[in-house]
């Protein structure tokens, strides 16, 4: 996990043409945001027995990367970190043994973590599988997931099993 964080931070700070660490305060703020992102994982929610509802303080776009307000620059970088973190962290939660051993398919009623690119920073949408969609070869390809606010169709590689349905 440390390697993943270090790789993402190094890529972010070298890809962006902005100087984040002019006074050190911006870098400190960015590191606090990164720490908050890492600590907002669903596993930490279970360990703490609470789900912190800390949403980002606004919506930040690419034009904020060049804003005169350095706080907006840092928030934009924190959003970029979040997008890359989710893209690299969620696959680590999924096992990749599909060709070596038979694996249980997702079933109706399972609780899953949903990868949603439109979700705000530090938001981990979870839902219950309502319907499974099987492809031409009889393999599970996608699922319909009911979250707290909506119903989504997602391919199986964009969901991660958290809790199996009791049989």
Average pLDDT, the chain: 78
**Cα 167–chain centre separation:** 29
Structural domain that includes position 71: 2-93
Which of 93, 122, 137 is the last residue in one of the domains? 93
- Looking at the fold, whether 87 and 10 belong to one and the same domain comes out as yes
Count of domains for the chain: 2
d(CA 151, CA 29) in angstroms, rounded, equals 35
Span 157-165, average pLDDT? 84
- Looking at the fold, whether 14 and 61 belong to one and the same domain comes out as yes
Question: Cβ contacts of residue 122 below 8 Å, gap of 6+?
Answer: 36, 37, 40, 54, 55, 56, 82
Residue in the structure block whose two tokens are 């070596």: 100
Instruction: Give me 153's structure tokens.
Output: 């169709």
Q: What is the CATH classification number for the domain harbouring 143?
A: 2.30.30
d(CA 85, CA 64) in angstroms, rounded, equals 20
Span 149-165, average pLDDT? 87
d(CA 163, CA 153) in angstroms, rounded, equals 19
- Looking at the fold, whether 86 and 118 belong to one and the same domain comes out as no
pLDDT score for 128: 94
Q: Is residue 78 part of a domain?
A: yes
Which of 64, 93, 122 is the last residue in one of the domains? 93
- Looking at the fold, whether 25 and 84 belong to one and the same domain comes out as yes
d(CA 138, CA 135) in angstroms, rounded, equals 5
- Looking at the fold, whether 39 and 89 belong to one and the same domain comes out as yes
What's the predicted TM-score (pTM) here?
0.70
């Amino acid at each position: 996990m440390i390697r993943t964080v270090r790789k993402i931070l190094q890529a972010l700070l070298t890809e962006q043409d902005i100087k984040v660490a002019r006074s050190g305060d911006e870098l400190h703020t960015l590191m606090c945001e990164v720490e908050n992102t890492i600590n907002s994982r669903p596993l930490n929610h279970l360990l703490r027995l609470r789900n912190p509802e800390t949403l980002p303080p606004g919506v930040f776009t690419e034009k904020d990367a060049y804003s005169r307000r350095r706080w907006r620059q840092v928030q934009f970088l924190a959003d970029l970190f979040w997008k890359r973190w989710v893209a690299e962290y969620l696959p680590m939660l999924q096992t990749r043994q599909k060709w070596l051993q038979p694996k249980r398919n997702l079933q109706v009623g399972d609780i899953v973590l949903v990868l949603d690119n439109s979700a705000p920073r530090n938001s981990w949408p979870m839902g219950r599988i309502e319907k499974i969609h099987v492809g031409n070869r009889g393999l599970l390809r996608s699922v319909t997931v009911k979250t707290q606010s909506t119903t989504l169709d997602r391919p199986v590689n964009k969901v991660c099993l958290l809790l199996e349905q009791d049989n």
